Structure 1
């Protein structure tokens, strides 16, 4: 079959400002198994440019594809664009089967299928096995109800879903379709040829705001030696210089992570590694941190979320401000950059809370910070906690963590926004940070900090301009539950770790309010 994978152009500021672009790992991970099953597959990556939607549709429909698969890593904020692309495709080629996948459609499948008929199928959860099985079932004219992990409309037009798919037990059994991209076009870290990879999927921790943990259902990892060899192959065959790990928590198993570090050190290739992990894992690994840097790890993003212990308890982060501070100190001692994520916008925060958070960030002394805003997902336990909060940002394209979306009790949006912008400037321009940017003895670290500072400056001014001139907020919006629907945390796990039953389960009919459907359709 002739299959096209579409990576929609993203509206997030971080996607538009940098000169670097990273390949869409999720689509490549699905493309590999489809190629191995004998299908003709190509990728249309509209992030470059970005590509105008009419040109994107022209490119996608050239060659008369049988299937078009749409997916994006920022699937909530990318949904309106994905929907528009599907609508344009169906206007011109109604016969093309459009399949939609990602975190957002995995959980919002009822709303999406009730609101529009431009998506023929939705893949729920991991897509490698499910998408391949779905294409095969359609090609062989077999009942699609036998395919686990999909949603679609039945003969009466009602949204239905098959039983959840099983998580992939052996991640090494499914290869990434690296041949779908021209590696020369993709870069990161200031022009270094780069790709996105996953050593592991999922996270064993119980942070109640996380939209990824339930999607992956359980934590699993690649074979450490095989993963290292794939990195070496990418370096030698395609000149890849940097690996951006997309894992939520690659260091969960010290044994597995140590085996990967040892394998990378043995291969002795000049590849840099960046990613995110937990501060307490860094503290745990104090005795082997010298191996991190030797294996190529140059920066960790530490998901600290907040500097207030009560807030950390509310969101069940499981860490502590003490371990956060110690992790940054340990990373610096071993020549690894630290980026601290800091989340604002919790309901009862005051200027005094923000001031205390700023002082603690200064005390942490991270090399870089990333300020984000509380962004709840309907399938997480935190959504239930925040369900009665008012929505001030109704444009779903701005639900990208870089825009305030929920009303606060004590701070107006403009006060929170400019407080966060001032905190970013103050933390990034403090004397210690400037000294490292200008005089760090490691030229690689100096290059990376200067690149991040240059990019951050461009994003900062773009965000300020957007807040003042472009973005629109509402004063008295709907509650979070009214905007997105009832809490869905009972369905947080998108897949099952048990083998599916031999006999397919009959699809479950799910109703949905028409008002919600119209709202989702935009």
Structure 2
């Protein structure tokens, strides 16, 4: 069959401003198994090219696909764009089969199917095996009820099959790298780049994170095979930078060390960036030289909050002392630290923002990234804030860079002011400027300068957007009134316990939340 994989354009500032883009790993991961099954697969990366809706529809239909599979890493914030594109595609070609996957449709499947008659199937959870089996069923005319992990319509009812099994062997399916031209994708200041996953999932219980439940179980790839794949991308495609999409690539010290040693043995000058937990950095203090030797240049660490009580409340599972030690250890080994900090876990006041700034200052991170707490229905955090008011109803802005929840007695404009002032004060510290200008490692200097240039562009753009485009709800609705009850029972996407098994729901009985 002819299949088009569609990566829709994203409205988030971070997708548009820097001028650099990373390839859509999720769709490429689906593409590999589909290609291996003999299908003719084409990727239309509308986000890369910033295509307008009419152009997207024209290009999709010009290729005459039988199936269109849509997904995006910005899942919830890009959902309205997906609905509009599906409607436009079906209006011109009703027989086209549209399949929608990702985090948001995994959890909101019943609402989406009731809301949009233009979507034929939803894939829930990780999609390699499910998309492959669904494409086979469509081609062969076999019953869809035999395909785990999907949602579809039949005789006016929404049917969902049992949850798909977790993919135990992540090397079982390959990434369809041939679907992209590597020269189109760059990061880190024009360096040819890809996104990869060494592992999936996370064993920790942070209340605000939906990734743990989406992947259900932590697993990792074969370290030697993974190192060889990265080395091949460098040698055959000139890839210079590897961006890890993992929540916790360092989850197994043994597996991570084996990977580092295997990559060092490949002798390729790759640059590695990713995210991990401060505790793993402290755990690995005796092998951080291997991190550096393998090419690790920066790790993002989730600092999240200044209060030990709040850290415990959001079930972060870390500590202030551990966070501070991790940053110190990374600097000692010539590896940059990026500290993420989240505003809005509780109804904060001006004093809280001042303490947040002082807290970040005491860590002395090389880079910072401030985010807003965003209440997705499938996370435990949603239940804790159901009775807070919403100041931003436009879900295209539920991207962690726009304030969604009211902050007690502090008006939105002042929260935004604190947000922007903390960013600039942290990035303009004399220590940061000295590292950016005089650090002995040229790679570190480049990384610091690139992030500063990109951050400056985003910073000014966000201010202009806030002043002239952002619409704030005054006396907005309660979160529960706007979005309905939580999806606590759906938190684990690929876990059969507590989930519907091959059930049916009359479309008329579903209310969107």
TM-score in same-fold range (> 0.5): yes
1:432 aligns with 2:431: yes
User: 1:73-114 CA deviation, whole Å, 9 max, x = no partner?
Assistant: 010001011111111100111101000000000000111001
Deviation for aligned residue 1:154 = 2.2
Q: Which residue does 1:92 correspond to in 2?
A: 92
> Equivalent residues in 2 for 1:260-299 (5 A)?
260-299=259-298
Q: Are residue 412 (structure 1) and residue 408 (structure 2) matched?
A: no
- Deviation string 1:178-231 (CA, Å, 9 cap, x unpaired) is 000000000000000000000000001011110111000000000000000000
Instruction: Say how many residue pairs are matched.
Output: 512
Aligned to 1:162: 161
2:14 corresponds to 1:14: yes
2:346 matched residue in structure 1: 347
So what's the TM-score if we normalise by structure 1? 0.96
Give 1:347 deviation, angstroms: 2.9
- Counterpart CA distance in 1 for 2:365 and 2:104 is 32
The residue aligned with 1:301 is 300
**SS of structure 2 residue aligned to 1:196:** strand
- Measure, in 1, the Cα distance between the counterparts of 2:184 and 2:502: 45
Given the alignment of the two structures, is residue 59 of structure 1 paired with residue 59 of structure 2, yes or no? yes
Counterparts of residues 322-471 of structure 1 (less than 5 Å): 322-471=321-470
- Cα deviation digits, residues 50-93 of structure 1 (max 9, x gap): 11111111111112100000000010001011111111100111
Describe how 1:30-179 pairs up with structure 2 within 5 A.
30-156=30-156, 158-179=157-178
Give the CA deviation at 1:510. 6.7
Question: Structure 1 residues 269 and 512, CA, compared in 2 at 3 Å: closer, same or farther?
Answer: farther
Other-structure match for 1:509: 505
Distance 1:492 1:398, change over 3 A: same
Cα separation, 1, equivalents of 2:346 and 2:508: 29
Map of 1:174-193 to 2, 5 A cutoff?
Answer: 174-193=173-192
Deviation (angstroms), 1:147 = 0.5
Distance 2:227 2:506 in 1: 44
| Cα pair distance change 1:258/1:348, threshold 3 Å | same
1:300·1:339 contact (CA, 8 Å) conserved in 2? yes
TM-score by length of 2: 0.98
Would you say the 8 A contact 1:124–1:494 is kept in 2?
yes
Q: Give the drift of 1:505.
A: 4.9
- Aligned partners of 2:76 and 2:395 also within 8 Å: yes
How far 1:433 moved relative to its partner? 0.5
Name 1:207's counterpart in structure 2.
206
Give the deviation of 1:410 after TM superposition: 2.4
Preserved contact between residue 217 and residue 495 of structure 1 (Cα < 8 Å): yes
> Is the contact made by 2:242 and 2:271 (CA closer than 8 Å) also made in structure 1?
yes
Q: Which residue of 1 aligns with 2:484?
A: 485
Provide the C-alpha distance between the structure 1 equivalents of 2:197 and 2:393, rounded to a whole number of angstroms. 33
Shift of the 272–213 alpha-carbon distance from structure 1 to 2, 3 Å rule, reads same
For the residue of structure 1 that corresponds to 2:47, the secondary structure is: coil
Q: Can you give the 5+ residue segments of structure 2 that lack an aligned partner in the other structure?
A: none
RMSD: 1.5
Q: Helix, strand or coil: the match of 2:4?
A: strand
Instruction: Tell me: CA distance 1:382–1:505, structure 2 relative to 1, closer, same or farther (3 Å).
Output: closer
Secondary structure, in 3 states, of the residue corresponding to 2:77? Answer: helix
How far apart are 1:497 and its partner, in Å?
A: 7.9
Quote the Cα distance in structure 1 between the aligned partners of 2:454 and 2:501.
50
Residue 513 to residue 372, structure 1, CA distance change in 2 (3 Å): farther
1:356-414 superposed Cα distances (whole Å, 9 cap, x missing partner): 11111111000000000010110111111111111110111000000000112121111
- In the aligned structure 2, how far is the partner of 1:172 from the partner of 1:388? 44
Whole-Å separation in 2 of the counterparts to 1:409 and 1:159 = 40
Moved over 3 A (4+): 510-514
Deviations 1:249-269 (A, max 9, x none): 010110110100110111110
Alpha carbons of structure 1 residues 306 and 511: separation in structure 2 relative to 1, 3 Å: farther
Structure 1 Cα separation of the partners of residues 345 and 338 of structure 2: 21
How far, CA to CA, are the matches of 1:497 and 1:389 in structure 2? 32
**CA deviations over 1:332-366 (Å, ceiling 9, x no partner):** 00010000000012332111111111111111000
Equivalents in 2 of 1:299, 1:193: separation in Å?
A: 17
TM-superposed deviation, 1:507: 2.4
Q: Equivalent residue for 1:24?
A: 24
Pairwise mapping of residues 252-267 of structure 1 onto structure 2 (< 5 A)? 252-267=251-266
Contact 2:163 2:496 in 1 (8 A): no
User: Contact between 2:159 and 2:502, CA under 8 Å: does it hold in 1?
Assistant: no
**Alignment partners' CA distance in 2, 1:178 and 1:307:** 41
- Bigger drift between 483-492 and 116-125 goes to 483-492
Q: Deviations over 1:439-462 (max 9, x none)?
A: 111111111110100000010011
Kept in 1, the 8 Å contact 2:162–2:496? The answer is no
